[in-house]
Amino acid sequence: MVATFEAEAEVLRVLGHPTRLALLTLIATAEQSVGAIETASGISQPGLSQQLALLRKAGLVATRRAAKQVYYRIDPAGFAATTGLLQAFAGPAAPAAKVPRRPVASAAMFAKIL
């Protein structure tokens, strides 16, 4: 039996747009008001509302209303199934390669070299 992946495909479709990825990046670290998102992104209100609505519909963001302000935050549950799928494709994470550090040159080192 072939598994159906409609939900995962929808999340990937929504994530496949550069504007929506940028918006998710803006709110990834902290909850943001619509006004703050508009200012930081430079996207005008009608376009911003449309993109945020698509993120809401896909379950990737959650909202909170305080008076007239609407705040957006990442909803980790919306990413759960897709994250598992992508992790299965990627396989186990390879250990990070160590990059040799060069000593920082300073006046003291320069004097020693001469």
Which is it for strands 61-66 and 32-33: parallel, antiparallel or unpaired? unpaired
pLDDT at res. 80? 87
Q: How many Å separate Cα 34 from the centre of its chain?
A: 17
Pairing of strands 69-74, 61-66: antiparallel
For residue 49 the two structure tokens come to: 């509302």
Sequence spans of domains, the chain: 6-92
Helix-helix angle 6-15:80-90, to 10 degrees: 90
Residue 2: what pLDDT?
Answer: 59
Please give the model's pTM, rounded to 2 decimal places: 0.74
pLDDT at 63: 96
Task: Specify the CATH architecture of the domain 6-92.
Answer: Orthogonal Bundle (1.10)
Per-residue confidence (pLDDT) for residue 89, from 0 to 100: 87
- Partner residues linked to 62 by β-bridges: 73
What pLDDT is recorded for position 71?
A: 97
Across the chain, which has 114 residues, the per-10-residue mean pLDDT values are: 79 94 94 95 93 95 94 93 87 69 57 54
Per-residue pLDDT, 1: 47
